[in-house]
Structure 1
Amino acid sequence: MSRSKLVSVISLSVAAVISAPSFAYAEGELNLYSSRHYDTDERLYSDFEEQTGITVRRIEGNADELLARMQAEGANSPADILLTVDTSRLERAKEMGLLQSIDSDVLEARVPGYLQDADNQWFGLSQRARILFYDKNDVTDPPQTYADLADPKYKGLVCSRSSTNVYSQTILAAIIEHEGEAVARDWATGVVANFARDPQGGDTDQLRGIVSGECDISMSNTYYFGRAIRKSVEGVSDSLDMFGWVFPDQGGNGAHMNLSGGGVAVNAPNRENAIRFLEYLASDQAQQYFSAGNDEYPAVPGVALSPSVAQLGFFKPDDVDLSAVAKNVGTAQAIFNEAGWE
């Protein structure tokens, strides 16, 4: 599989230069195991059914439940596709032997190399940047890098999610990949020293912590704030004017990216339909809906962003190999434990 470097800036309106897949009308079904919990995904499924004639049958649950179910079902599993959030879960599915390698010229051409598994067992389909938010009324010198979060001048200002959350794990895993374990350990220890409160809640709760005054700085994935721009989110949308945000490491590695992606199940009874579904999710239509319906960044370069996402601005993303990052998650959790990051 070729590894293509993502363009240094995500474009708001550059026309796609890679041809989108087209679909012949087919018959049959597709059994989808999904841990994406977004009501807006209904549009993706209905449009695919309308274009292809393939009926999508869904089983939904959290990622751990779905992986355990696929493992227990074994060769008799009806699963054709696994869709989930974050590289570490896709990599875990691969390590458990739950996915299979596929050949798809469409996915190879449209999905950047760093968003593909080296063995073509999973593909990233949408992205979220993990960036820094701050109270611009209180913080006049906001952190510009992830490393800055450990600077003592921000002591008592930072709120965060728990170390057991996959987003926390992957940002530290990326630091390990870039800088090594010693730097990662110092960073985690420094951030803990700057906590305004014990780690708690989800990404929206970190934004609410800024509004309530419990903290002045937090990390959050972009789509949580994009959602608050697009529609009413209690405790955030009424206070958008107080937020400033920084895409970190713009002079270095770039902003850390989390992804949502999928792969074909190892025992997929409808393998060709499963490949067709992944190719559809890489089409311009589906990519635009990931952005419009769930405030995510498309995985395919050149696809226009929705207004809520575009409002966040241009930035340089980190194109580190996410498969390598996923392999560091266990080490990241051990470092968190040592640092006292609850």
Structure 2
Amino acid sequence: MRYRSRAVTGLALLASSFVASAPALADGEVNIYSYRQPYLIQPLLDAFTADTGIKTNVIFASKGLSERIATEGANSPADVMMTVDIGRLDAAVQLGITAPIASETISENIPAQFRDPVGHWIGLTSRARVVYASKERVDQDTITYEELADPKWRGRICTRSGQHVYTLGLIASMIAHHGEEKTEEWLIGLRDNLARKPAGNDRAQVKSVYAGECDISLGNTYYMGKMETNDKEPEQKEWAASVRLIFPNAEGRGTHVNLSGVVLSKNAPNRNNAIALIEYLTSPKAQEIYADSNFEYPVTPGVPVSERVKSWGVLKPDSMPLSDIAKFRKAASEMVDRVAFDDGPAS
């Protein structure tokens, strides 16, 4: 039996969907729990089914999937879980819901820096944490993360919550490079340079630059593509046109990147099909589909970025393994609270 959910956003609804339909255990299927919205991954899944004959069944939720798999235990129908951010991938491992993947195909396709050293998670695409700069009010075309604490930016920076996974990833990378003491000094300087309390998503920060509330903001690269092509909300095209992307630390260690990725469920009922899916998602064909449809960077070497992404400039990614950065996420979260980052510059 096949089950599918298009917009399940709460655990209660997610639970009821399993009561209403039995898990798919047929040889020709694979069951996917996804934090990634179905429309983002459907082109990939359709191509996988066309090439392999294996059906894909998707449950989508915005939160709680890792905990759901842990609660379901040995009876979980989940074969794989797709998510974003190294923090969520690492959290799944810490919950004990994943199994290591031993695959020569995956090892050949995905560089070691984008894989868990033991194989518990696999990166599928990357996105860079960049600066969105006003075309009218910012002249420079280079910047570093460290510079964001410079007083010259006082009252000119917008960002989302310090406790959001994207922000924690950046702070954790700063700790990995500079240690906790220097990173805390930096975070205080960044806090004091904020134009307002952190609030909203990455697109909201660009809207604030467009409105003149701040001059630069922090955001993921793919949001530029989402705004530039948003025909349903054309005002977002105006926001995007008001800014340009600057890749921090491009002349040094490189720009901080994060991942979308996948894990194999420890109790996967369709294990072979699950591994086949993960191998497929790391293939050049699938990586190119991802790159074209989601404005993200392929992690399989040799796969080109889309023309739109290429137009934003050249990405030199930080080469530090994300598994090393993930170790400092707890320290990053504690630091955000300690300096009252989310209280804004008045704190």
Q: Normalized against structure 2, the TM-score is what?
A: 0.88
CA distance in 1, matches of 2:207, 2:100: 42
CA distance in 2, matches of 1:237, 1:230: 7
**Structure-2 residue corresponding to 1:226:** 225
**Structure-2 residue corresponding to 1:309:** 309
CA distance in 2, matches of 1:209, 1:178: 30
Q: Which amino acid aligns with 1:214?
A: E
**Structure-2 residue corresponding to 1:333:** 333
3-state DSSP class of the match of 1:253? coil
**Structure-1 residue corresponding to 2:9:** none
Q: Within 5 A, what are the aligned runs for 1:156-175?
A: 156-175=155-174
**Structure-1 residue corresponding to 2:77:** 78
CA distance in 1, matches of 2:45, 2:167: 30
Deviation at 1:40, TM superposition (A): 3.3
CA distance in 1, matches of 2:212, 2:76: 49
CA distance in 2, matches of 1:308, 1:223: 10
Equivalent pair of 2:69/2:76 in contact (CA under 8 Å): yes
CA-to-partner distance for each residue in 1:299-321, whole Å, 9 max, x for gaps? 11111111221111212111211
Moved more, 165-174 or 29-38: 29-38
CA-to-partner distance for each residue in 1:26-59, whole Å, 9 max, x for gaps? 9511010110015132111111111111111111
3-state DSSP class of the match of 1:236? helix
3-state DSSP class of the match of 2:100? coil
3-state DSSP class of the match of 1:249? coil
Deviation at 1:338, TM superposition (A): 1.6
CA distance in 2, matches of 1:322, 1:239: 31
Q: Within 5 A, what are the aligned runs for 1:207-226?
A: 207-226=206-225
CA distance in 1, matches of 2:98, 2:129: 27
Identity among equivalent pairs (%): 38
Q: Within 5 A, what are the aligned runs for 1:100-139?
A: 100-139=99-138
CA distance in 2, matches of 1:42, 1:144: 37
Q: Within 5 A, what are the aligned runs for 1:218-297?
A: 218-232=217-231, 233-297=233-297
Which one has more relative contact order, counting CA pairs under 8 Å at least 6 apart?
1
CA-to-partner distance for each residue in 1:125-160, whole Å, 9 max, x for gaps? 001011111112112246610011110010000001
CA distance in 1, matches of 2:91, 2:239: 38
CA distance in 1, matches of 2:313, 2:66: 36
CA distance in 1, matches of 2:112, 2:197: 38
Equivalent pair of 1:176/1:328 in contact (CA under 8 Å): yes
**Structure-1 residue corresponding to 2:324:** 324
Deviation at 1:102, TM superposition (A): 1.5
Q: Within 5 A, what are the aligned runs for 1:14-163?
A: 28-37=28-37, 39-62=39-62, 64-141=63-140, 144-163=143-162
**Structure-2 residue corresponding to 1:190:** 189
CA distance in 1, matches of 2:129, 2:302: 21
3-state DSSP class of the match of 1:315? coil
For structure 2, list consecutive stretches of 5 or more residues without a partner in the other structure.
Answer: 1-25, 343-347
Moved more, 75-84 or 40-49: 40-49
3-state DSSP class of the match of 1:302? coil
Equivalent pair of 1:88/1:327 in contact (CA under 8 Å): no
Deviation at 1:238, TM superposition (A): 2.1
Deviation at 1:74, TM superposition (A): 0.6
**Structure-2 residue corresponding to 1:8:** none
Q: Call closer, same or farther: CA 1:312–1:177 in 2, change over 3 Å.
A: same
Q: Which amino acid aligns with 1:160?
A: T
Moved more, 45-54 or 162-171: 45-54
Say how many residue pairs are matched: 316
Q: Call closer, same or farther: CA 1:141–1:257 in 2, change over 3 Å.
A: same
For structure 1, list consecutive stretches of 5 or more residues without a partner in the other structure.
Answer: 1-25
Moved more, 140-149 or 166-175: 140-149
Deviation at 1:198, TM superposition (A): 0.8
3-state DSSP class of the match of 2:99? coil
Aligned structure 1 segments of 4 or more residues deviating by more than 4 angstroms: none
CA distance in 1, matches of 2:43, 2:240: 28
Equivalent pair of 2:227/2:239 in contact (CA under 8 Å): no
Deviation at 1:234, TM superposition (A): 4.3
CA distance in 2, matches of 1:186, 1:336: 12
Q: Call closer, same or farther: CA 1:185–1:38 in 2, change over 3 Å.
A: farther
Deviation at 1:289, TM superposition (A): 1.2
Equivalent pair of 1:211/1:236 in contact (CA under 8 Å): no
CA distance in 2, matches of 1:96, 1:90: 10
CA distance in 2, matches of 1:33, 1:110: 23
Over aligned residues, Cα RMSD in angstroms?
A: 1.5
CA distance in 2, matches of 1:125, 1:170: 17
